Structure 1
Amino acid sequence: MALNADNSTVPGRGRRADAARNVERLLAAARELVDKSGSEVVLDEVARKAGVGNATLYRHFPTRGDLLVAVYADEVAALCRQGADLLGDPRPADALFTWLDAFVVHVATKRALALAATEGPGAHRTRLFDKWHESMRSTATKLLRRAQDVNAVRPDLTVADLLAIASGAALSGTDVAHAQRLVGLLRSGVEVERDGTVS
């Protein structure tokens, strides 16, 4: 049981910690199963793999859609955390294109999950998709501006340009390695050499 500094109990804190751990286990199990079998994952199998009862799963995620939303939101958050970490990289161009490479892998491999998580009518799903797009756009904007501030990439490049080209590469219908190669070609077209010329 959780305690305050004066050794008195904190009502509910232990239960909240247990619930948070259960959610983490459920998301980890769901992510693994979705990667393996796709979005038609069986909820009972997720509960089994997470080591929790079905009632626990349904309490946190009443439907498959709720679970898929949570799994995809977690993937987007991880991608954005990577971008935030890269803002500390002393090589802004490397940071930008390292993240863009991860973005391409994300789009290429998580598109089916994103579509499954947002399928069905209603503004709620649209708002979710818009929120996820905005968080990735914000991350890309910070990395791009940092690279432009040190004249590492051409100044007329916009985040809309960058993400449109990267998304196109990711959805080109080829494999992920080819999409990453296309990002490498993009870099060669927009990176500025030390003498100020575009490479």
Structure 2
Amino acid sequence: MTTAGGRPPRRLRADARDNRDQLLAAARAEFTEQGTHASLNKIAQRAGVGAGTLYRHFPTLAALLAALIGDDVDALCATGRDLMTHPDPDEALAVWLHAVAVHATAMRGLVATQMAALRDRRTAGALAACHDAIRAAGVALLDRAHHHGSAPAHVDIADLLTLVNAAAWASEQAPDDAALLARLLALITAGLRA
């Protein structure tokens, strides 16, 4: 792997690596508790570092989120690749959409909120790469459902992901109804097969 200038990426010193790991752990905890109301200053305090250290590692909220959710996005995309061999393309798509919904509810909806903000491509390249990876996995599964399943040809992955994110958001607004997300996803996938 090389940087944009063709040089290998700089390895972090042990203390810098520790600071980065502490910041990511603090960010996950803060975002899980506060969602979109999380404070970057609180994240730095929680990690036991100064704001300058936070911004040196993660110059923008998008960079912090991309680092934080990168592994989750990789796992979601790996699930999508694994489901490409599932014998039922419609079921494969439904299972993956459920995984997307669970991912969207991570950190109290912050992930879904930031992904929705990507309609404006100027917001952040790193987070856009996460969005693009999820979209590509979804396109592959949806194309398979178009060709070998019952998904109608006019269904678009962007619309489907918007619906799933909306279902995830709605389920978060009704914490007393633990089955709401499953019911909403069942309606979405039933609509695909109608």
1:141 Cα deviation from its structure 2 partner: 0.6
The offset of 1:32, in angstroms, is 0.8
Matched, 1:85 2:85: no
1:75-154 to 2 correspondence within 5 Å? Answer: 75=69, 78-89=72-83, 90-91=85-86, 92-108=89-105, 111-112=109-110, 115=113, 124-125=122-123, 131-149=129-147, 151-154=148-151
Question: Distance between the aligned counterparts of 1:132 and 1:32, measured in 2?
Answer: 21
SS in 2 for 1:53: coil
Q: Are residue 27 (structure 1) and residue 13 (structure 2) matched?
A: no
> Contact between 2:92 and 2:141, CA under 8 Å: does it hold in 1?
yes
Quote how far apart the aligned CAs of 1:155 are: 4.6
Q: Distance in 2 between matches of 1:138 and 1:117?
A: 14
Q: 1:145 to 1:84 in 2, by over 3 A?
A: farther
1:172 CA drift (Å): 4.3
User: Judging changes above 3 Å, is the alpha-carbon distance between structure 1 residues 47 and 155 closer, same or farther for their aligned structure 2 residues?
Assistant: same
Distance 1:154 1:44, change over 3 A: closer
Kept in 2: contact 1:29–1:46 (CA 8 A)? yes
1:76-100 residue CA offsets vs partner (Å, 9 max, x unmatched)? 6513531323322342444322221
Distance 1:168 1:42 in 2: 24
- Counterpart amino acid of residue 139 in structure 1: A
SS in 1 for 2:151: coil
Q: Give the counterpart letter for 2:150 in structure 1.
A: V
Instruction: Kindly tell me the number of residue pairs found equivalent between the two proteins.
Output: 172
Residue pair 2:27, 2:43 contacting (<8 A) in 1 also: yes
* Percent of aligned pairs with the same amino acid: 31
The runs of 5 or more residues in structure 1 that have no matched partner are 1-11, 192-197
The structural deviation recorded for 1:31 is 1.2
Q: Taking CA–CA contacts closer than 8 Å with sequence separation of 6 or more, which of the two structures ends up with the larger relative contact order? A: 2
- Cα distance in 1 for residues equivalent to 2:16 and 2:132: 29
Amino acid of the structure 2 residue aligned with 1:101: H
Whole-angstrom CA distance in 1 between matches of 2:21 and 2:90: 34
Going from structure 1 to structure 2, the CA distance change for 1:118 and 1:19 (only over 3 Å counts) comes to farther
The equivalences for 1:1-199 within 5 A come to 13=11, 15=13, 18-43=15-40, 45-50=42-47, 52-54=48-50, 55-61=52-58, 66=60, 68-73=61-66, 74-75=68-69, 78-89=72-83, 90-91=85-86, 92-108=89-105, 111-112=109-110, 115=113, 124-125=122-123, 131-149=129-147, 151-156=148-153, 157-172=155-170, 174-175=173-174, 177-191=179-193
Q: Equivalent residue of 1:37, what SS?
A: helix
Residue range with higher mean Cα deviation, 153-162 or 94-103? 153-162
1:195 corresponds to which residue?
A: none
Q: TM-score, normalised by structure 1?
A: 0.62
How many Å apart are 1:186 and its aligned residue?
2.2
TM-score by length of 2: 0.63
